[in-house]
């Protein structure tokens, strides 16, 4: 597809024209809708970008990348509740997607749901995303500062996390080191 080669040259307007031609010839061309969304996002045309991801998802409901990119775009435009739903769908399709867990945590945090965000960050960390360790420490600091992190709430959060961590441990063996738990 010519649009893909133009993408390497960072020429989003020309990419979009190529994707439009591909869609005109084959309206159910999932990749053309998805790639057009990426190009529109590069141009800052976010509503159109999201609409392209929606079309790709309508054509292929299990298109993990379309759900993920839609979630990123929604996060960037202060629509965290919708973004959380996108990341939940990615996780339902691929529970081992550490980036989806991490981004879900970011969306939850933006929405002020700090305890849930901590769990999402912990899941990302258990799946091997080392960037999540910093997020865990930062969210725990917010929870401590608000008085919401106590030994009891931390134990509840860990209990809620155990079924999902069990899947990770079963698939990958013993998880890596845990971030330090202060407080």
| Predicted TM-score of the model (pTM) | 0.77
17: in domain:
no
Please report which confidence band the pLDDT of residue 12 belongs to, taking 50, 70 and 90 as the band edges.
confident
Helix intervals (H) in 94-177 = 98-110, 114-126, 131-146, 151-172
37: in domain:
no
178: in domain:
yes
16: in domain:
no
148: in domain:
yes
pLDDT tens for residues 96-149? 999 999 999 999 998 889 999 999 999 999 999 999 999 999 988 888 887 766
Structural domain tally of the chain?
Answer: 1
Residue 150 half-sphere exposure toward CB, CA atoms < 13 A: 4
Of 63, 40, 38, 66, residue with least CA distance to 53: 66
What is the rounded CA–CA span in Å between residue 77 and residue 9? 27
Of 14, 19, 54, residue with least CA distance to 35: 19
- For residue 80, is pLDDT > 60? yes
CB atoms within 10 A of CB 30: 16
Residue-number span of the structural domain to which 122 is assigned: 97-183
* Cβ burial, residue 28 (10 Å; 0-12/13-18/19+): exposed
């Amino acid at each position: 597809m010519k649009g893909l080669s133009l993408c390497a040259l960072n020429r989003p307007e020309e990419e979009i024209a190529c994707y439009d031609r591909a869609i005109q010839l084959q309206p159910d061309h999932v990749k053309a809708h998805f790639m057009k969304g990426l190009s529109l996002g590069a141009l800052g045309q976010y509503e159109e970008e999201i609409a392209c991801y929606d079309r790709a998802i309508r054509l292929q409901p299990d298109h993990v990348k379309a759900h993920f990119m839609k979630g990123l775009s929604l996060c960037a435009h202060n629509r965290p509740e919708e973004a959380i739903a996108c990341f939940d769908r990615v996780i339902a399709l691929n529970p081992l997607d550490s980036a989806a867990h991490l981004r879900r945590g970011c969306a939850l945090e933006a929405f002020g749901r700090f305890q849930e965000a901590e769990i999402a960050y912990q899941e990302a960390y258990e799946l091997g995303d080392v960037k999540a360790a910093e997020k865990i420490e930062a969210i725990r600091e917010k929870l401590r500062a608000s008085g919401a992190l106590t030994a009891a709430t931390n134990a509840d959060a860990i209990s809620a996390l155990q079924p999902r961590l069990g899947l990770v441990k079963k698939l990958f063996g013993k998880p890596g080191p845990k971030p330090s738990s202060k407080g």
